[in-house]
Chains A and B, each alone.
Chain A
Amino acid sequence: MSLTYHLQIVNLLAALLLLISFAMLSQRRIAGLITLFAWQGAALTASTALVAWSTGQHHLYYSAAITLVLKVIAMPWYFFRIVKKLDVDRDVEPMINIPTTMLIGIVLVIFAFNLALPISELSGTVMRSTLGIALACVLLAFLMMITRRKAIPQVIGFLAMENGLFFAATSTSYGMPLVVELGVALDVMVAVFVLSIFFFQIRETFDSLDLKHMEKLKER
């Protein structure tokens, strides 16, 4: 297979990533959100592995493996377990104005492409055009964190943002040095662990995972 053919698949996967980001933005159910997060991880793994194969950057195989284990298998499984334990799997978030959120999302994507343009022109990698998509994923995840009122979706937004950053690193410079990537993966793992302890604390104190109870600390 030629490099252009690979490139088309990578671009396709990048488009898929963006699509999943939008889907996450509009997903009301927590279980659905976790599934989408797992799919996003899968798309990320596939694209990283493909880039590794077509360019011969072997350390990217390790990154792909870490992504697969952490973000496709371990974290979704862990989240499903927490959701079951906390008994919030049937929770539906009453989000108003999903269309408005989507419109803001589209504006963010345009902004991201504009921001990425000067950088991707400088980049020498085969997939430089996907930097815009990576940045868009980061911003969409950011938007998701802002619009959500519940604890678990906010954390999934945080992790989706990390996915976008990971994709950005792959598309600009074939990933970060391996030791940094390992460190980042370790931090993300610890973060999820700490936050799951936190979910139980919040639940114990407020009797729900709704963050609307947590708006007392304001500047008066």
Chain B
Amino acid sequence: MEIYWLLGIPLTGGVFLALWGCRKHAPEINALFSLATLLAAAWLTHRIIDQGPMMVGAGWFFIDSFNVFLVALTAFVAFTTALFSRPYMRIEAEHGKLNAQRLRLYHSSYQIFIGAMLLALTTNNMGILWVAMEAATLATVLLVSLYRTPASLEAAWKYFILCGVGIALALFGTILLYFAAEKILGSGGTALLWTHLNGVKAQLEPTVLSLAFVFLLVGYGTKVGLAPLHSWLPDAHAEGPTPVSAVLSGLLLNVALYAVMRSKVLVDGALGNDLAGNLMMGFGLFSVVLAAFLIKRQTDVKRMFAYSSIEHMGLITFAFGMGGAVANFAALLHMTMHSLTKSAIFFAVGHATQKAGTQLMADIRGLIQTNPTIGWGLMLGTVAILGVPPFGVFASEFLIITTAMHEHPWATPFLLLALGVAFASIFGKVQPMVFGETELPKLPYQPALAPVFLHLGLVLMLGLFIPPYLADWYRQAAQLLGG
């Protein structure tokens, strides 16, 4: 029952806001729908914790501890982003960057995007998972080009074409998966159900599944932003409105990685070797190193943090690739930390760029003098994402690196080097933005910074102390992913 509320609310919200979204209170309605989605997600999470994994709707939906954790995270960040976008988008409209019609498009697409991601997370059917991923892409294409500047149109076009091609490869992977499954489960709708596939995964044809995984990894990996398929990501993050950057970075990348992980569990069972894990480790490590060195060259603040997202997604992919209970645990924890921290950073960056009227880091100076809360938000967020203790990112990165040292020592120098380079470049660039001298006036309005400090507070709390039920939950999910 909860699941229908969870999926129904954002979709209704999308339709409602498409019809009435040009009203004055559309941002509040958007936040209300997101709040309702969050409540539905909390309800669902509560039931899963109580009763364990379950199938809903004649096997169409399957919820276990792995996806319910992502459902809760997605609904939470979607809600806080809606809170942040309420004043932010209003000011963008006042600055003349948007008109009422585009705001309507924004609000409607936002809800549909969240709905599509939740569908991708909860569905049991690998085919519907593909359909929902594609729907999530389509919902965001017009959001990236919302400002209609030449650069944003280019970014959106690149986003569509690259992710379109990527996701077409994932469709081929899904076709191959169905081909292998249909021999054992018989043709028809049930052969693509993940729970059915999981039951017979040892009997699936290994050659076909290894080929299928390559296509699925490359296809969904394009959306995760794994190098060398990442080139859409910095453009889309830099040119779209900031709330969109926050949800793309904090949520969509996670959902795409979720799709890869669901496939990996099946392929591991069929192959009985480390092929899938090794591929993921390779892509992950390459992304971490490449992104770290590209961060150094960035001048645009949102682009820089977009590259930082590639770096962190690479790190998570690497950890999932290593497999095993500890690495999976660390990867899940890092997924949570990265989502919370990166979206908080984008909120702070959004206000900073609105104030300076530019995204160039050289022109953003002295936030702490004029708007101390924005300055502190950005500084603390940056410190958190760079993995400084006591923030939670430190805990997950520490776990990932110690596991790597133990199991794959050859990879550790690369990881440490990349994290070091990323630390030096990001900190060196953010520091003058926060503490430098400025002549810019103070922001004329109250920035929406509650979400920033809420996220950072959670990250800090999880770094100091993970409540036992949460740790159990992560452990269960890590177990499920096997290794």
Which residues of B sit under 8 angstroms from A178, Cβ to Cβ? Answer: 189
Majority secondary structure of chain B interface residues (helix, strand, loop or mixed):
helix
Q: Which of A39-47, A76-84, A98-106, A205-213 contacts B (4 or more CB under 8 A)?
A: A205-213
Q: Hey, which chain A residues are within 8 Å of B171, CB to CB?
A: 162, 165, 184
Set of chain A residues within 8 Å of B189, measured between Cβ atoms: 177-179
A183 to B235, CA, bound (A): 29
A180 near B297 with CB under 8 A, answer no
Please, which residue of chain A has its CB at the minimum distance from the CB of B239?
A217
Tell me which residues from 164 to 179 in chain A have a Cβ below 8 Å from any Cβ of chain B: 165, 168-169, 172-174, 176-179
Q: How far is the CA of A205 from the CA of B146 in the complex (A)?
A: 13
Stretch of A4-12, A16-24, A119-127 lying at the B interface: A119-127
Does the CB pair B154–A214 fall under 8 Å? yes
B264 to chain A, nearest CB (A): 20
Central interface residue in B172, B176, B183, by most chain A CB within 10 Å: B172
Given A183-B130, A217-B154, 9 new contacts (CB under 8 A):
A119-B208, A122-B207, A176-B178, A177-B189, A179-B189, A191-B164, A201-B153, A205-B150, A214-B153
Tell yes or no: A220 within 8 A of B by CB.
Answer: yes
**Chain A residues engaging chain B, CB cutoff 8 angstroms:** 57, 115, 118-119, 122-124, 138, 142, 145, 151, 154, 158, 161-162, 165, 168-169, 172-174, 176-180, 183-184, 186-187, 190-191, 194-195, 197-198, 201-202, 204-206, 211, 213-217, 219-220
Main secondary structure of the interface of A (DSSP, over half): helix
B149 CB → nearest A CB, Å = 8
- Is B188 a contact of A177 with CB atoms below 8 Å? yes
Cross-chain contact B165 with A145 (CB below 8 angstroms):
yes
B223-250 contacts to A (CB < 8 Å) = 231, 235, 239
Question: Contacts A179-B125, A211-B157; is A186 near B131 (CB within 8 Å)?
Answer: yes
In the assembled complex, B64 has its CB within 8 A of some CB on chain A: no
Instruction: Report whether B127 and A176 are in contact in the complex, using a CB–CB cutoff of 8 Å.
Output: yes
Q: Contacts A158-B164, A165-B172, A187-B138 hold; do A206 and B150 have CB atoms under 8 A apart?
A: yes
Interface: B262 (CB within 8 A): no
Q: B29 within 8 Å of A by Cβ?
A: no
Give B109's nearest chain A residue, CB to CB. Answer: A194
- CA of A198 to CA of B182, assembled, Å: 39
Assess the B142–A217 pair: CB atoms within 8 A.
no
B397 at the interface (CB under 8 A from A): no
- The answer, yes or no, to whether B187 is at the interface (CB within 8 Å) is yes
Which residue of A168, A201, A213, A219 contacts B172 across the interface (Cβ within 8 Å)?
Answer: A168
Q: Which residues of A contact B235 (CB under 8 A)?
A: 217
A122 and B208 in contact, given A173-B182, A217-B235 (Cβ under 8 angstroms): yes
Compute how far the CA of A172 lies from the CA of B138 in the bound complex, rounded to whole angstroms: 28
Task: Show 12 A/B contacts (Cβ-Cβ < 8 Å), sorted by A.
Answer: A145-B161, A158-B161, A168-B175, A172-B175, A173-B179, A176-B192, A177-B192, A179-B125, A180-B131, A180-B174, A191-B164, A214-B153
Q: By the criterion CB–CB under 8 Å, are A174 and B187 in contact?
A: yes
Interface residues of B in 182-233 (CB under 8 A from A): 182-183, 187-189, 191-192, 205, 207-208, 211, 231
Assess A154 versus B142: contact at CB under 8 Å? Given A122-B207, A169-B175, A176-B178: no
A172, B165: Cα distance in complex, Å: 21
Give chain B nearest CB distance to A68 CB in angstroms. 21
Chain B residues 320 to 352 lying within 8 A of chain A, measured CB to CB, are none
A148–B415 alpha-carbon span in the complex (Å): 39
Beta-carbon contact of B157 and A183 below 8 Å: no
> How many positions in chain B have a CB within 8 Å of any CB in the partner chain?
49
Query: Ordered nearest first, which 8 A-B pairs have the shortest CB separation?
Result: A180-B127, A183-B131, A214-B154, A177-B189, A172-B179, A187-B134, A173-B179, A169-B175
Rounded to whole Å, the gap between the CB of B376 and the closest CB of chain A is: 31
Contact A202 B168, CB 8 Å, known A173-B178, A177-B192: no
Give the distance in Å from the alpha carbon of A103 to the alpha carbon of B357 in the complex: 50
Chain B nearest Cβ from A142, distance in angstroms: 7
Interfacial chain B residues near A197, Cβ < 8 Å? 142
Residue pair A118, B207 in contact (C-beta under 8 Å) = yes
Closest residue of chain B to A185 (Cβ to Cβ) is: B131
* Complex Cα gap A40–B208 (Å): 28
Using known A-B contacts A162-B168, A180-B192, A205-B148, determine if residue A151 contacts B175 with beta carbons closer than 8 Å.
Answer: no
Shortest Cβ distance from A166 into chain B, in angstroms?
9
Q: How far is the CA of A52 from the CA of B151 in the complex (A)?
A: 47
A183 to B205, CA, bound (A): 26
CB contact list, B379-401 vs A, under 8 A: none
Q: Is the CB of B141 within 8 A of A173?
A: no
| B355: Cβ under 8 A from any A Cβ | no
Residues from chain B with a CB closer than 8 A to the CB of A198 are: 141-142, 145, 153, 156-157, 160
Chain A residues with CB under 8 Å of B125's CB are 177, 179-180
B155 at the interface (CB under 8 A from A): yes
Query: Chain B residues with Cβ under 8 A from A220's Cβ?
Result: 297
Q: Which residue of A lies closest to B236 (CB)?
A: A217
Which A residues are in CB contact (< 8 Å) with B128? 179-180, 183
Q: Is the CB of B145 within 8 A of A187?
A: no
Instruction: Let me know if B141 and A194 touch, CB within 8 A.
Output: yes
Are A169 and B178 within 8 A (Cβ)? yes
Which chain A positions have C-beta within 8 A of B211? Answer: 115, 118-119
Task: Give Cα A217–Cα B154 distance, bound, in whole angstroms.
Answer: 8
Asked if B164 contacts A138 (CB within 8 A), the reply is no
What residues on A are CB-neighbors of B160 within 8 Å? 194-195, 198
